[in-house]
Amino acid sequence: MLEVSNVVHKYGRVTALSDVSLSAAKGEFLTILGSSGSGKTTMLRVISGLETPYSVNRLRIGGEDVVGLPAAKRNCTTVFQNYALFPHMNVIENVAYGLRIRGRTAQDSTAEAKRALEMVQLGAKADRSIGQLSGGERQRVALARAVVTRPAILLLDEPLGALDERLRQDMQLELMELQRKLGMTFIYITHSQEEALTMSDRVVLMKHGRIEQSGAPLDLFDRPVTRFAADFMGYENILDGKLLRKDGEIGEVELVGGAVVRGTLATSDIQPGGAINLAIRAERIGPVAADEDGLDATLSNRVYRGKYTDMMVETKAGTLRLRSWHGAPNEKGAISRVGWKLSDAVIFPEHKG
């Protein structure tokens, strides 16, 4: 449904996209994830035709070559964070507008718009003015307006960014349901890893105008392949060391400070002697017995955070963070050694710079 290859885009001397390729299948929910300035919006603008790329090898929507085709002629629609609704039109007029300008009759457009509004649970508010709606309702109108013309691809630029946390979570589920019902391809932009993991079939993580890693949400969550990806996906502990030996997927590493521990290799592209990072989530580390794999540790701090308690322990490899979701079982000083399941410690090559 979408095929983009080797797109480069520059704003003056700033390179916003350098040689990015991505594709999406029919009915796929693809999320472009990245921090501010990583090039997400630029990518979306290139796809929609709002930005003419500096260079691109191939850009196809639904099999059609759209290079040089103006935005209005492309079979895709964008939903923006700020909704961009027409304030002088009521709800149903906003939704029907796209059909009217495509030459559909008033009666036909209204009936179709009504169906789209029902899909986003706003059937009862069709006659309201935009000013009488909450933020979440406005975003639903924007969605109904975007899907009513049945584009091949819906492009969503941080559409839930302006909503509060609770509403955002509800809307995430609604959006997923809407996408499934319509079977439409969604290209979704966000800087929230939690949102990307919840909603997507596939995630593309961007850094400085390049793709750092892409894959299914679980791949990114459990198998980051670079320090940046691990950090972005919320790994609290990232240690330095070198690979001593590997046995299939399992790697034995010597951490800075001399401790030898084991974990799982995120890629086979890593050789003994090479500099590595070993990443582990705080909740995947726990106290172990003296004869088990792990590191000797002394508890140095404990922070109660309501839903969980974080504990800092000092080890030969430096300070590690542990997280306990079941209150705080260990009294200060009770931890003497910490360890992890081999599948929870990810080893990937260290990239300098």
Size of interface with ligand ATP, in residues (CB under 6 A): 12
User: What does the angle CA 303 – CA 304 – CA 305 come to, to the nearest 5 degrees?
Assistant: 110
The correct pick among 11, 26, 127, 300 for binding ligand ATP (CB under 6 A) is 11
The correct pick among 31, 42, 110, 237 for binding ligand ATP (CB under 6 A) is 42
For the segment 161-220, give every residue that binds ligand ATP (CB under 6 A): 191
The correct pick among 16, 148, 253, 313 for binding ligand ATP (CB under 6 A) is 16
* Nearest-angstrom CA–CA distance, 330 and 222: 27
Q: Which residues make beta-bridge pairs with 32?
A: 189, 204
Residue 242 sits in the site that holds ligand ATP (CB under 6 A): no
**Entry field: residues in the chain:** 353
The correct pick among 40, 138, 262, 281 for binding ligand ATP (CB under 6 A) is 40
Which window, 31-39, 106-114, 223-231, 326-334, contacts ligand ATP (CB under 6 A)? 31-39
Q: Of 109 and 139, which CB lies nearer to ligand ATP in the complex structure? A: 139
Residue 86 sits in the site that holds ligand ATP (CB under 6 A): no
Which window, 39-47, 165-173, 265-273, 299-307, contacts ligand ATP (CB under 6 A)? 39-47
* Nearest-angstrom CA–CA distance, 299 and 263: 23
- Provide the H-helix boundaries in the chain: 40-48, 91-100, 106-119, 135-147, 165-182, 193-199, 217-222, 227-232
Shortest Cβ distance from residue 21 to ligand ATP (Å)? 16
The correct pick among 24, 31, 38, 142 for binding ligand ATP (CB under 6 A) is 38
Residue 110 sits in the site that holds ligand ATP (CB under 6 A): no
Give the closest residue to 341 by CA, choosing from 249, 264, 234, 266: 264
Residue 13 sits in the site that holds ligand ATP (CB under 6 A): no
The DSSP string of 280-338 is: E-GGG-EE--TTSSSEE-EEEEEEE-SS-EEEEEEETTEEEEEEESSS--SPTT---EE
Structure tokens at 89: 């039109």
Residues in contact with ligand ATP by CB under 6 A are: 11, 14, 16, 34, 36-42, 191
